[in-house]
Amino acid sequence: MKRWAVLVVLLYFLLLVGLTVPLSLAAFYPPGGTLQDMVGAYREVYCEWLYWVFVGLMVAGQATMLLVPIDLSLQRPTTRRSVL
């Protein structure tokens, strides 16, 4: 089970790194720029430490959700008392 979770976290990381910058630059880059300008923009974003902090936080959250075991089925049911 843990191997699948690690694989999902790895694929999530690769998709996040591979799609965030191209999609955000496609959405917000001014039209009329050359290909060399676009490559420079990619390099600039990937060298920014704040981008990697964002990616690290997103992957850490995903890993926490997938790797931390939560098994509530073994707990005893709580008894409910009457209000009166």
Task: Check if the beta carbon of residue 21 is closer than 8 Å to that of residue 42.
Answer: yes
pLDDT digits (tens, 9 = 90+) for 2-34: 788 888 889 999 999 999 888 888 888 777 777
Range of the domain at 54: 2-66
What gap in Å lies between CA 30 and CA 18, rounded to an integer?
Answer: 21
What gap in Å lies between CA 43 and CA 21, rounded to an integer?
Answer: 10
pLDDT band at 61 (very low <50, low <70, confident <90, very high): very high
Answer whether residue 83 is part of any domain: no
**pTM of this structure:** 0.69
Host H or E run for residue 54: helix 49-67
Answer whether residue 20 is part of any domain: yes
Answer whether residue 80 is part of any domain: no
Answer whether residue 27 is part of any domain: yes
> Three-class SS of residue 5?
helix
Phi and psi (nearest 5°) for 29?
Answer: -75, 135
> Residue length, the chain?
84
Answer whether residue 31 is part of any domain: yes
Answer whether residue 42 is part of any domain: yes
Answer whether residue 54 is part of any domain: yes
What gap in Å lies between CA 53 and CA 26, rounded to an integer?
Answer: 22
* Domain count along the chain: 1
Answer whether residue 12 is part of any domain: yes
Q: Report the mean per-residue pLDDT for the chain.
A: 83
